[in-house]
Structure formats: C-alpha cells, structure tokens
Chain A
Amino acid sequence: MPTNLKTVVIIGDGAAGTIMANKLRFHSDPSEIRIVVIGNSSRHYFKPDGVHIPFGFRDYRNSVKPSAALFNYGVEYLRDTVSGINLDDGSVTTVSGKTIEYDYLVIATGDRFTTGDLPGYDQEAFHFYSLEGALKLKDRLKDFKGGRIVIGQASIPIQCPPAPYEFTFQLDQFLRLKGIRERTEIHYVYPLNRVFTIQNVAAYIEGLFEEKGIIVHKMFNVDTIDSGSKRINSIEGESLPYDLLILVPPHRGQELLTKAGMADESGYVDVDRSHLNYGSYDNVFVVGDATNLPISKAGATAHFESEYLANRISSEVNGNAFFESYNGEVACTTITGPNEGITLFFSYTKPPRANFQSKSDYFLKWTSSDTYFSAMIRGIM
C-alpha cells in the first residue's frame, strides 16, 4: 500500500453515505483515497415513495434495492454497526469487534423514530415514514369507509418537512378516486401558526388546502394521545377526535453520537454550516439528516452536501486549492394534486419561491425513484 494513501471512513449506508462514497470515488483515484463505508441496512428504501405506497399508487418493490448493490466499483462496503467513535485516536469501533482507523471521517447516520417519546403513539398512530409504516397504513386504508382523519407530525424537526402536506394531497386524491371524500373529514394539524415552516410556501399550501376542503389546525403541538376516547390533544389546549390518526413519529438523531459526546440528547450534531466539519476537527464531517443545520432534512440536501464534501476531500488529498463552501442549497419537489407539482429551490440566503404548480414538476417527482437509483445515488448527478 502506498504510504500516502488516505482512508475515508463513512458511517451510514443511506442516501447521504452512499451518495458521498460514490461521488468521492468519481473524484479520486483509488491509489490516493481508500473509501470504507460501514452501514447496517440490508436494503435501501427510497423514502419519498412513502407518499404513494399507502394508496397503492406505486408498488413498493420498485422502491427498494439491496444496499450493497448501490456502491460504485472501488468502494469497500462493510455490513456492521458502528458502536463507538474515538475522535482523539481517529478510529471507530464496530459491534462485531473491529477497530478501523481513518484519516477522514464522514458521519451519515441519519435519524431514528423515537415513538416512546409520545405515549399512545405505538397503539394508535399510523405513518408513512418507513416502508413498514407505509404498508401498515395501506392495509388500514383498504378498509377505510369514511370518517375523521387527523394528520400531522409529533414534533419538529422531521425528515422532509413538506412530506406531510404532500401526503395529504395524495390522500385527498385517493379518497376522491375511492368515492368516499364526501364522507371523510381531513384535519391537518401543524405546530406553528402556519402550515409549513417557511411563510410564503405556507400561504400557498394553505390556499390549496382550502380549495380541497382540508381543515387546518395551526399551533397544534401534540401533547398526548388518548386511545380510550380516540382523541389527540395539543399543548395549546385543543382536543380533536379521530377515526384514523396519521402522525409522523417523533425523530431523534442516533444515540451513538450522543454517546460520543458529539450531540445532546436530541442526537443531532452541530456542524459548521459552511464547511460541515464538527467542532475544531477539520477531518470529521457530518452530512444528511444527522446534522443540526437549519435546513430541510432531505435527500437533496445530502446530495448537495456530498458534492461539496467529495470535492473538498479529494482536492485536499491531491494538494489542489479549494475555496468553495456549502451554501445550504436544497431543492424539493412535491406533488400537490393530480398532474400537479411544485419545486422549491432554496439556500441559506435565498428563501424559496413557490408560485406555480406544473405538470412537469409532477412527472419529475413521479419518476424520482428511477432517477435516484440510476443516477443520483451513483453520484452521477
């Protein structure tokens, strides 16, 4: 092995870890950079399809691929769980007992659902945030004959903040196709005094909700779920009955990062917003949902972050000058109705604009799992 070979260890085999590894492989020569991904999932699920699967709009088998099959030639993939990060030694340890040293560490461990944070959640609530959740909800919707549906999110932050409203548009369409929309009330609850974090997007979505007869309850921060009376109650004192409760589960970052002293009990890591490095370490980075950055937790975020970081690491190893920084870029396309969608582009300094719906945005989103598996995940885009 040449002595100047640098090892980049990436923890996590989801969207961020896989895109990061594949992009870095494109940017660097295997004689200069060795890339080791440590991940613990056997299959890679394209989560955005969670807004189609519960309605039977898409076959879930097209939304999963074996994780190991998604890495480009020259990326070493180790199926294992990282149990410790030792920043002082520059090494990570795994559940199977391995210790792996790194020159650069990229943490891409995403987040997890902590349903135990909300008593009653596991007994009462359905969701579409995992494949299991989406399939369970699909079963429940099959028998749904009408009634009162309450949709919302248990807390902030969540992955893909627009997904709850996108799901609601799809639900509205599903109920219309099924012929039971008139027999169903849809109640949308949201923690803020608008239906989305960003003001102008919120105003736009609220207009669409009104057109579709979706009832909005703002400043509804979920406090308790009463399974006996089938009611969901807010901290603000509102109480809503439901026949079907669809609630995005509470999220936290990984315990591993709290244990390593890199995060508080929320599990999300504070990183430099322009360079993505952790604390004073200039060889330890966090990408994807695992960060505490004030931007959407989205695959698109992971994609832009990886583009920056792969360029940076390869330039540094090659001794090339590199002056770029990550500017908080995110792009997000959501379906808003039959043949209609919107795309939001934004960054730290540019708020998104959402002023029109288009058919092309609808198709962009509808075909996104194909684009994702064939190009984006491979680091081609």
Chain B
Amino acid sequence: MGDEVKPTKVIDARGSFCPGPLMEMIKAYKQGKIGDVISIYSTDSGTKKDAPEWIKKSGNELIGVYDRQGYYEIVMKKIR
C-alpha cells in the first residue's frame, strides 16, 4: 500500500483467477462511496493489467500498482 493512503477496503483475492479479482474490485466499487480507497491483492498476473485499465475506463483514480512478495497490490480511489 502506498505509505500515505490508507485503504477503506482491502480485498484479498490471492489464489483467485482471472476475472475473479477484477470482479471483486468492481463489486467493492459498486458497494463503496465516493472517496473510498480500495486495495486489492492478487496473484493472477492478468489483474495487473486488467484492473488499471478498468479503473481508467470507469473514470476513477489509480493510486498505484505495487509488486509485493509473491503478489500484486492495486490501489484505486472511487471518484465517481
């Protein structure tokens, strides 16, 4: 997680395969409110590409994609 931003919701989708992690993220987005910071952990390499593309297309903010030990963390902010 980026040091300065604390996530409102963390989804641990490690072990789940495409499109599971992205769908979990979209679900959390739907249930969340403007300003929420959503972080997702994924071991599926596809998520690293798919999630940022979705965040951009949906008009939200990508805070970062981080390589953690053995998994990725993708952090977004809900702005619409």
Q: Chain A: residues with CB nearer than 8 A to chain B? A: 156, 191-193, 197, 199, 219, 221, 223, 235-237, 294
Contact = CB atoms under 8 A, between A and B. Distances in A.
B80 A156 contact: no
Contacts of B22: 192
Contacts of A237: 58-59, 80
Interface in B40-80: 46, 50, 53-54, 57-59, 80
Contact of B53 (A156, A191, A219, A223): A219
A237 B23 CA distance: 17
A219 B53 CA distance: 9
B58 A156 contact: no
B19 A197 contact: yes
Interface of B: 16-20, 22-23, 26, 29-30, 46, 50, 53-54, 57-59, 80
B30 A235 contact: yes
Nearest to A192: B19
Contacts of A199: 46
A219 B54 CA distance: 7
B16 A235 contact: no
A250 to B, nearest CB: 12
A266 to B, nearest CB: 10
Given A193-B50, A193-B53, A219-B58, A235 B19 contact: no
B66 to A, nearest CB: 21
A191 B23 contact: yes
24 contacts: A156-B19, A156-B23, A191-B19, A191-B23, A192-B19, A192-B22, A192-B50, A193-B50, A197-B18, A197-B19, A199-B46, A219-B53, A219-B58, A221-B26, A223-B30, A235-B30, A235-B58, A236-B54, A236-B57, A236-B59, A237-B58, A294-B16, A294-B17, A294-B20
A263 to B, nearest CB: 15
A294 B43 CA distance: 13
A121 B20 CA distance: 24
Contacts of A197: 18-19
B29 A235 contact: yes
B26 A235 contact: yes
Nearest to B49: A193
Contacts of A223: 30
A219 B57 contact: yes
Contacts of B29: 235
Contact of B58 (A192, A236, A294): A236
Nearest to B23: A156
Contacts of B17: 294
A98 to B, nearest CB: 37
